[in-house]
Amino acid sequence: MWGMDVRDAGFKQVTRLAAARERLLEAVAPAGRTDRVPVGRADARVLAEPVESLRDVPSYRRAAMDGWAVRAEDTFGAGDRSPAVLRESEGAVTPGEAVRVHTGSPVPEGADAVVMVEDTDTLSRGDRTEVELFDAVAGGENVAPVGEDVERGQSLYEPGHRLRPSDLGLLRAAGIQTVEVYERPTVGVVPTGDEVVERDPDPGEVVGTNGLTVARLAARWGGVPTERRPVPDDREALRAAIERDLTKDVVVTTGGSSVGERDLVPAVVDELGELLVHGVALEPGHPVALGVVHDTPVLLLPGYPVAAIVNAVQFLRPVLKHRGHLPVPDHPTTTARLDGKIRSEPGVRTFARVRLEEPEDDADHPLAVPVRSSGAGVLSSVALADGWVVVPEGREGVPEGETVAVEDWEPAA
């Protein structure tokens, strides 16, 4: 249990980032609610049941090239000097005949191959047209057979597959109109703090930004967020706000997560359920807490904007993916040369904000310039940065000139 002694003593012990994330994910299960949606609205949704093709694709023999449908045996021996000569016809192909076809059109009965139009010529012979073929073809050449792409009953996708636009096209081609998918995880975002306002601030007040930022990040990561109005630092008000959103798949609070007199949220969560972690070895944002109330994960993010963002990326993103039956993809990175030293504390994972600049020399990599205004409350240090360099717990800073990976954490993934 959390207990009041932590507030008195401060953070004497903190949990490593990987261990904290593992503890959170082990405590919650993927959500099981499903929904049947039209294929046209299923982009980025996660399948909840296997999908099989309802028809052959293509459902008919089709020409793979513009040209002439023929019997392959009528072209044997054809070449530039001795072309095979066939009669132009329509409908079914009989011996000695050829029927004009276009890419994707049905191959007529009797034909088993298509000669490309560039290997042919046509001649008018009175009331009929003859077709000269300058290339022999084998049976089946330039003909797409029934089911060449997909066969009826073929397994297409298994549960857990996240649908992409190309998948939707294949599903529609295979005759599938609707799919059973997992519902997107819902998120209640609850800003807290007596000083947080939604209007122009008076002295001692701040405009709330964490709720908006965290809600939009949740939406990028596949969640359906509900951004609540700020809740004051009052135990009963905080309790009511958290209980209201326990119908959500995830509850996120911002502010009031540390160990000060007004940091009441950890105690409230501990009373309602279980506080799994309080204090994580990362910078900025170590006063984060993670809990579970009635099987609903509750993430207590620090109130400083940058600390809230860092912890949202490290904890909200993976828990949303977990609840939504998705793996957590790696962030895209840019290899760069560090233009300035990064300081960090041993045993703490540090997220150092940088901006990318083109080098003045002919170096292969851009420069990663540390953002000088790096406090956890300086929101512009993230908004104006291009990413951050992750310094692992085992290092004490990164020297200038070292090649680093700049992590872009904002793409929708």
Domains defined for the chain, CATH in brackets: 5-33+183-323 (3.40.980.10), 34-50+158-182 (3.90.105.10), 62-144 (2.170.190.11), 333-407 (2.40.340.10)
Residue 259: which pLDDT band, with cuts at 50, 70 and 90? confident
At residue 379, the pLDDT reads 65
Structure tokens at 198: 């939604």
Please name the residue that has the structure tokens 């990987």. Answer: 18
Q: What is the mean pLDDT of residues 18-32?
A: 95
Owner of token pair 């990164």: 398
Output the pTM of the full model: 0.84
Looking at residue 2, what is its pLDDT? 41
Kindly report the backbone phi and psi dihedral angles of residue 244, in degrees, each rounded to the nearest multiple of 5, phi listed first. Answer: -60, -35
Mean pLDDT of 43-63: 96
C-alpha 349/C-alpha 218 separation (Å) is: 23
Work out the average pLDDT over 61-81. 96
Beta-bridge mates of residue 349: 282
Evaluate if residue 191 carries a pLDDT over 70.
Answer: yes
3-state helix, strand, coil in the chain (%, to 5): 20, 30, 50
DSSP 124-166: EETTEEEEEE-S---TTTTEEPTTSSB-TT-EEE-TTPBP-HH
At residue 330, what are phi and psi to the nearest 5 degrees? -70, 150
Measured CA to CA, the distance from residue 162 to residue 159 in angstroms comes to 9
Residue 375 pLDDT more than 90?
A: no
Rounded Cα–Cα distance for residues 410 and 163 (Å): 21
Q: Which residue has the tokens 């940065």?
A: 385
3-state DSSP of 367-387: EEEECCCCCCCCCHHHHCCCE
DSSP state of 316: I
Q: What is the mean pLDDT of residues 148-164?
A: 96
